[in-house]
Structure 1
Amino acid sequence: MSAQETPNPGKTIETPKGAWTITFLLFLFMLVNFADKIVVGLAGVPIMTELKLTPEQFGLLGSSFFFLFSISAIVVGFIVNKVPTRWVLLALAVVWAVTQFPMVGTVSFTTLLICRIVLGAGEGPAFSVAAHAIYKWFPDEKRTLPTAILSQGSAFGVIIAVPALNWIIVNHSWHYAFGALGIVGLIWVCVWLALGKEGPLEDTQALAVSETKIPYVQLLTSRTFLGCVAATFGAYWALSLGLTWFTPFIIKGLGFSQSQAGWISVLPWVFGATIVLLTGWISQLMMARGSTTRVARGVLGSVPLVIGGLILAAMPHVQGAGLQLALLVVGTGLCGAIYVVCPPMLGEFTPASQRGAILAIYGALYTLSGIIAPTVMGTVIQHASSTLEGYMTGFTINAAIMVGSGLLGLLLLWPNTERARLTGGTAAQSAPLKSAVSPT
């Protein structure tokens, strides 16, 4: 059988029983993941006040989370090519839980910094490993919606956690917010230990993509891989600013209270959740109606980045906190589309035996913006003539990066022809697995 031939031509690959249960558990996994990420930004003002931190120091704290994020993602990405994802996911979640508890008592800036670095190392591989696990449960043409649901763990992690954590911060202490997250993490560990399973489609999908491995240098230099990294880099710049600086901006830049900021902070994530789910649904619908993955994934994910960047660029030029917040919410929320489409695009042309590593390297590269963005914002704020002016300059930089990354995505994302080129087939053969499966 050649690399382009697939078993049982014309026959639909059915979704195995239990696939949606695993999807829901991994949705909760990502929910915990992003609740862990957001807590520093949410408690930013109390932390800066208690520890007497400057904006540059707080920016360093936000960036520290990503110091080992990328390295860990790559290492674990290669590990999951050999080790069942069930056990890797379990180990990651244990690390998340354990690193929260030192903050319950009196803590120094150094201790907080170290715990965030270790937490980042544990969370770096999270999305790529979870996506790799889900792709063992769904055939290619059915992956976009589960990927969207997985991505929504991040949004709901903020939407659900922010009001609860903010209540703890306001009524008790920011220290206890960290402790609550540690307990929630341990609960997920227990549930996954009881219900988590490995997907059965690994061998089928390996044949559906390619029987032989493709050299990593070809995969990593393919234009679609580079396009995914470039496009998601810009989206993650906005996300990392949201995690670290959105709540302090609401309080110190716009003058809202901590209690008010807790509710306002969920707005970008509510809007972003809507965008992600719509993108997943529209993409899958377009593919079912015959669109190439270039259009149904590449274009659909890149255009919102450009539009979002242009909206964000208007922030410094309007008056009023309400309008500025609306532009910030819509502009950054549109970034979510790219997270839905890039993992499935990479899965189109990557052999299943190499997919875990490629998804991890992709995640490791685009999340490098998480190291840069919070520090850049902190430096800009500290050296601006006013706090608000500093924030506006930082968001303008964010807007330019979003537009540029979206344009690179439009230029480079061609997953359908990529698969044909890498496997030596033809463009006709590279339609989204139509020779092997039927759209549903």
Structure 2
Amino acid sequence: MLKRLRWTMVFMLFMAGVISYLDRAALSVAAPLLTKDLNLDPAELGIVFSSFFVGYSLFCFVGGHMSDKYGPKKVLLVAMLVWSVFCMLTAGVAGILSLLVVRVVFGMGEGPYATCTNKIIYQWFPAEKRTSAIGMANAGQQVGGAIAGPLVGLIALTWGWRVPFVAIGILGILWLIIWRWSAADSPNQHPLLVEESENPKRSHHHGIEKDVAVLSLGQYLRRPTVLATSFAFFAYAYVLYFFLSWFPSYLTMERHMSLADMSWANIIPWVFGAAGIMLGGIVCDALFRKMRRGILAHKTVIFVSLAISACCVALAGQAYSVATAIALMSGAAFFTNLTLSTYWGIISETVEPARLGGVGGFMHLVANTAGIIAPTLTGVLVKITNTFQIAFYISGGVALLGALAVAIFVTDQSHKMTWLKGTSAKEPS
């Protein structure tokens, strides 16, 4: 029963990820039609893409802190309600101002998703299986991005660009109804496992969000390992959001593909990205079991994958054909997403359970400032230079810096002993 419920939770979180990226990618896919309707230039479109992350990045941290305080199930329930409603409200915008307001609040709603997902999996799975479970759950985001192209493209071409936002919002409402009655923060809170969860050993094994913290949140946020991991996650996010926001427009503006052709071509990198997320968790857990050194296993995957991704993105900027550009961005998507589960893996190895939401939320806050910077900077560069080439080079350079940050500053020394001993709140030397 426990095993089945564990993977039911993963499936529900996977579907939440599908919906969240359907929501996000919808604007990018519909952008060619939306920009004509609302009369937006590339710089203004870049600001619209970035506005989502103003709310999103802040509420990554707020949502993480709230998940420590109120539990991830409740926080994710409210989050899905907010982002679904404001996804639907996107269909009613009349200009850039109303679009910006809707996108900011929409981003606030989606902010808590990642941290809540990771915290729930931490409480449902033992250490040797967590990274694989996180990878499976987060793969839903890439699947959502993949199906957004043909789905949103077809609906937009048939009924207009506003209709897809309403349809996707309705999917979110249906999900939260099922989530309300089927989910729990941890096994010892699930109605079907009440008797089993009364066992104190099992309760301790999975962790409880109301554990008393030994170290303060500030002590964790000053650690080089946390800061370097957060910057590497920023590098991951920069590549992701550059791709998520602008790759469809790159195919139509610079490669002159039709909206219909672009919608299908855009699937390919997302499929590779989904494969990368799922395999990344499996590879990390395999290295963890082999090395018995969790930090080293996660660090290795991040460094190698981000370095390869940096090369792929930079080369894509000077590709001579559409097929080559798509192939290189597919490689970048695969290797970048191979790292997605590993950032949380490092945090879960070095942070006590009662601070996982806050520290994880901070890491997501740092990472998702890339969503503010990458789309706007790309839009400005495209407007000035009339080409995407420099934007590709910058994206690859950021990925390389993230790889180096992890290699240099993330140490294999375990900080867990400080809080496991439970007596000293001082920072380890």
Question: In the aligned structure 1, how far is the partner of 2:93 from the partner of 2:239?
Answer: 31
Distance 1:147 1:346 in 2: 13
| C-alpha RMSD of the superposition | 2.1
- Residue of structure 2 aligned with 1:391, choices 384, 388, 392: 388
Q: C-alpha distance in 2, partners of 1:402/1:234?
A: 5
* Correspondence for 1:412 among 400, 409, 413: 409
User: AA paired with 2:84?
Assistant: A
Instruction: Give runs of aligned pairs for residues 22-33 of structure 1, distance below 5 A.
Output: 22-33=9-20
- Judged with a 3 Å threshold, the aligned counterparts in structure 2 of structure 1 residues 228 and 375 are, in CA distance, closer, same or farther, namely same
| Of 175, 180, 185, the match for 1:188 | 175
- 2:272 corresponds to 1:285: no
Match of 1:432 in 2: none
Q: Cα deviations across residues 207-229 of structure 1 (Å, max 9, x unaligned)?
A: 9xx98512222211222211211
Q: CA deviation at 1:313?
A: 1.5
Pick closer, same or farther for the CA change 1:42–1:297 going to 2, 3 Å: same
Residue 312 of structure 1 is matched in structure 2 by 313
1:20-419 to 2 correspondences below 5 Å: 20-105=7-92, 107-200=94-187, 203-206=204-207, 213-384=214-385, 386=386, 390-414=387-411, 416-419=413-416
Corresponding position of 2:426: none
Aligned to 2:194: none
CA distance in 2, matches of 1:144, 1:408: 21
The 1:314/1:421 distance shift into structure 2, 3 A limit, reads farther
Query: 2 CA distance for matches of 1:212 and 1:256?
Result: 54
User: Residue 15 of structure 1 contacts residue 139 of structure 1 at CA under 8 Å; is this kept in 2?
Assistant: no
User: Cα distance, 1:76 vs. partner?
Assistant: 2.1
Alignment deviations for residues 15-57 of structure 1 (CA, whole Å, 9 cap, x no partner): 6551111111011111111111111111111111111101110
Percent identity between the two aligned chains: 24
Partner amino acid for 1:300?
A: V
TM-score, normalised by the number of residues in structure 2: 0.90
Distance change (3 Å), C-alpha of 1:92 and 1:317: closer
Secondary structure, aligned partner of 2:70: coil
The residue aligned with 2:192 is none
Q: Against the structure 1 CA distance between its residues 423 and 191, is the aligned structure 2 distance closer, same or farther, given a 3 Å change threshold?
A: closer
Measured after TM superposition, the shift of residue 136 of structure 1 is: 1.1
Q: How many residues align?
A: 406
C-alpha deviation, 1:205, in angstroms: 4.5
Q: TM-score, normalised by structure 1?
A: 0.87
Q: Are 1:68 and 1:117, in contact at CA under 8 Å, matched by a contact in 2? A: yes
2-structure distance, mates of 1:423, 1:298: 23
Q: CA deviation at 1:274?
A: 1.4
Q: Which runs of 4+ in 1 moved over 4 A?
A: 14-17, 420-425
Q: Tell me if the contact between 1:144 and 1:340 (Cα under 8 Å) persists in the aligned partners.
A: yes
* Preserved CA contact (<8 Å) 1:377 1:391: yes
Preserved CA contact (<8 Å) 2:280 2:341: yes
CA pair 415-212 structure 1, distance change in 2 beyond 3 A: farther
Which has a greater percent of helix? 2
